[in-house]
C-alpha cells in the first residue's frame, strides 16, 4: 500500500517511522494519553461566532434536513444522489406575490408563533405549495423562533448556544431550482412545484426563495415547447418529452447550467433549440440533456449528453473551487454554507499539526476547506461517484494534503482504531437520520480528541451527542445556522471534546 503523503506544514513526526495503518492514503499517529490529546486540541479561548447584520442575541431554530429529500425544493422529489431535505407542514395564509417591509421584531425570543394576521412576506400560492412554513413571520422573528427551539432541545446539557447565524437578505437564496412539467387542461403546459404531499403541480411564475435567473430560464423553456413540438411528460401514461428542468446557478462565479430531463434520448432540433435558448439567456454556460425513461419518482436518469458547453459549472466556496455536475451534491444556499463550514472549522480549532477525518465526505467540500487549516485530511465516503468528484475537486484546487477513501466511514474508523491510529479531529455531517450506533461505536473506539458535528436534524444530533456523552465526550459549544429561511429547517454545529 502507498505510504501517506508528506506535505508542507506537517509535523516532523510524520516521517519518524511511527506506526501507520496499512491503508492507502491514510496518515495517523499512535495514540497518546488523554492529557496529550487535550494539549493538542485545546488551544485556549474559543473563537467568537458572530451573526450577519445586527447582533442577533436570542433567536432560534428547530430542525430538519434530509440528506436525501429537500422540502424547499420546487419538486416533491429529489434526485437520488442529492443530500437534500424534506419537511411537509401546513403553510400560513398568504396573498400577493411581492415581499412587504419587515414587521416589528418579536419582543421575546422564542415567543414568535405564526400569527393569523397578514403575512410578513406574501406569496399567492403559499397555502397550496406548503414549502415555506414561516412566511407569516418577519425574518427576525423566524430567527428568534429557531434559536429558542435549539435552546430548548439542548437545555439539559448546560452547553451554551451561540446566536443563530442568519442571512442579511433571505430572499431568492436557492441556487438550484427544479421544476416538473405536465399537461394541463386545453393543451396548457403546467410547470411550477408539487403541492406538499402530492403530485399536483402548483403553477407559479415566481418564488420568494428561488434564484430569479433560474426562474426566468424555466419560464423560457416552457414558452419554447410549442414551437419545438415538445410535449410535457404525462406520468400516468408515461408519454411526452420533457419531464423536468433543473437550473443550477453558481453563486460566486455566475456560471449557469441547464439540465433538461427528457423521457427519451432523441431530441429533434436540439442544435437550434440550444441556439434559441442561449439567445434568450446568454448567461447560460452549459446545457445538458439527462435521459430518464423509467416510471419513477427519481428525477434524474443515468444517461447524460452535453448539448452545449463543458457539461458542468464551477463555483467557489471558502476559497476553494468546486466542479458541479447535474447530479453532484452542492449546497443550494452557498452564502450560508460558507458560514456553516466556517463555524464548524472555527469551533474545531484546526491547525497544521492535526490529523483530520471528514466522515460522510461526499464530494469533499468540507474536507477540502479543512485542508487549508489542518496538517492532513482523510475524506471517507461509500459512494464511489462522489469520491471521484472529490478527487477531481482536489486536483482542481491543487490540494496535496488530502486523501479520499471509498469506504463506509464507521468501518474505516473501526479499522483505524484497531491499528492504534490517532486522529485529532473528526468532522461529521451525517444524513437526517443521524449517525447509527455502529458508526458512533467506531468513533468512540477511535477516540479523537475533538468532534465537530454538523447536522441537518438537531433532534438526531442531540440523540447522538447524548450517546457520546456517556462514552467520555462533553458537549462544549452549539452553533445554529439558518440555511433555509422561511422554512422550519435548521443546520446546527455541535462541538464535542474528550
Active site residues: 456
Q: Which residue has 455541535 as its cell numbers?
A: 494
* Nearest alpha carbon to residue 40 among 52, 51, 31, 27: 31
34 DSSP β-pair partners: none
The secondary structure of residue 2, as a DSSP letter, is: P
Residues 418 and 26: beta-carbon distance below 8 Å: no
Which DSSP category does 157 fall into?
G
Tell me the three state secondary structure of residue 357.
strand
Q: Report how far apart, in Å, the C-alpha atoms of 156 and of each of 287, 327, 347, 378, 462 are.
A: 51, 40, 21, 34, 10
Q: What sign results for the dihedral spanned by CA atoms 463, 468, 470, 473?
A: negative
443, β-bridge pairs: none
Rounded Cα distance, 184 and 162, in Å: 49
Alpha-carbon gap, residue 249 to 313, rounded angstroms: 8
Classify the C-alpha dihedral 430-434-436-437 as positive or negative.
Answer: positive
191 vs 304: CA distance, rounded Å: 23
What CA–CA distance (Å, rounded) separates 470 from 251? 42
Task: Name, in order, each residue with C-beta under 8 angstroms of 216's C-beta and a sequence gap of 6 or more.
Answer: 281
Measured from the Cβ of residue 418, the count of other Cβ atoms closer than 10 Å reads: 12
**DSSP structure class, residue 60:** B
Amino acid at each position: 500500500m502507498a505510504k501517506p503523503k508528506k506535505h508542507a506544514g506537517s509535523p516532523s513526526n510524520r516521517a519518524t517511522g511511527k506506526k501507520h495503518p496499512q491503508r492507502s492514503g491514510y496518515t495517523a499517529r499512535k495514540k497518546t494519553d488523554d492529557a496529550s490529546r487535550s494539549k493538542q486540541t485545546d488551544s485556549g479561548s474559543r473563537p467568537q461566532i458572530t451573526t450577519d447584520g445586527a447582533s442577533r442575541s436570542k433567536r432560534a431554530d428547530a430542525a430538519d434536513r434530509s440528506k436525501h429529500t429537500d422540502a424547499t425544493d420546487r419538486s416533491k422529489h429529489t434526485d437520488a444522489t442529492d443530500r437534500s431535505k424534506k419537511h411537509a407542514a401546513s403553510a400560513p395564509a398568504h396573498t400577493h406575490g411581492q415581499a412587504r417591509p419587515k414587521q416589528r421584531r418579536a419582543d421575546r425570543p422564542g415567543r414568535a408563533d405564526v400569527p393569523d394576521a397578514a403575512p410578513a412576506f406574501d406569496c399567492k400560492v403559499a397555502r397550496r405549495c406548503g414549502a415555506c412554513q414561516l412566511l407569516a413571520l418577519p425574518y427576525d422573528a423566524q430567527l428568534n423562533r429557531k434559536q429558542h427551539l435549539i435552546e430548548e432541545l439542548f437545555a439539559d446539557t448546560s452547553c451554551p448556544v451561540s446566536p443563530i447565524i442568519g442571512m442579511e437578505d433571505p430572499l431568492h437564496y436557492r441556487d438550484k431550482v427544479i421544476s416538473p412539467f405536465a399537461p394541463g387542461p386545453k393543451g396548457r403546459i403546467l410547470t411550477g412545484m408539487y403541492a406538499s404531499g402530492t403530485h399536483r403541480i402548483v403553477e407559479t411564475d415566481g418564488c420568494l426563495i428561488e434564484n430569479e435567473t433560474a426562474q426566468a430560464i424555466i419560464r423560457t423553456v416552457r414558452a419554447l415547447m410549442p414551437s419545438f413540438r415538445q410535449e410535457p411528460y404525462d406520468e400516468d401514461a408515461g408519454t411526452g418529452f420533457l419531464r423536468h428542468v433543473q437550473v443550477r446557478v453558481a453563486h460566486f462565479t455566475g456560471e449557469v447550467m441547464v439540465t433538461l430531463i427528457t423521457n427519451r434520448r432523441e431530441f429533434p432540433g436540439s442544435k437550434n433549440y440550444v441556439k434559441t435558448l442561449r439567445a434568450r439567456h446568454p448567461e447560460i454556460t452549459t446545457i445538458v440533456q439527462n435521459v430518464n425513461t423509467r416510471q419513477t419518482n427519481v428525477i434524474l436518469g443515468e444517461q447524460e449528453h452535453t448539448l452545449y458547453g463543458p457539461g458542468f459549472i464551477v463555483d467557489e466556496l471558502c476559497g476553494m473551487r468546486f466542479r458541479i455536475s447535474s447530479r453532484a451534491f452542492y449546497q443550494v444556499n452557498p452564502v450560508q454554507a460558507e458560514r456553516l463550514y466556517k463555524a464548524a472549522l472555527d469551533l474545531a480549532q484546526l491547525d497544521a499539526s492535526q490529523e483530520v477525518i471528514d466522515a460522510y465526505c461526499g464530494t469533499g467540500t468540507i474536507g477540502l476547506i479543512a485542508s487549508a487549516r489542518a496538517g492532513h485530511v482523510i475524506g471517507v465516503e461509500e459512494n464511489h461517484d462522489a469520491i471521484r468528484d472529490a478527487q477531481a475537486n482536489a486536483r482542481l484546487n491543487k490540494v496535496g494534503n488530502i486523501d479520499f477513501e471509498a469506504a463506509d466511514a464507521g468501518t474505516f474508523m473501526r479499522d483505524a482504531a484497531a491499528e492504534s491510529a490517532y486522529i485529532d479531529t473528526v468532522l461529521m455531517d451525517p444524513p437526517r437520520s443521524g449517525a447509527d450506533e455502529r458508526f458512533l461505536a467506531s468513533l468512540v473506539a477511535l477516540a479523537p480528541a475533538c468532534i465537530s458535528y454538523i447536522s441537518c436534524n438537531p433532534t438526531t444530533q442531540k440523540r447522538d451527542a447524548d450517546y457520546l456523552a456517556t462514552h467520555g465526550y462533553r458537549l462544549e459549544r452549539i452553533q445554529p445556522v439558518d440555511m433555509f429561511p422561511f422554512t422550519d429547517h435548521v443546520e446546527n454545529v455541535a462541538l464535542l471534546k474528550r
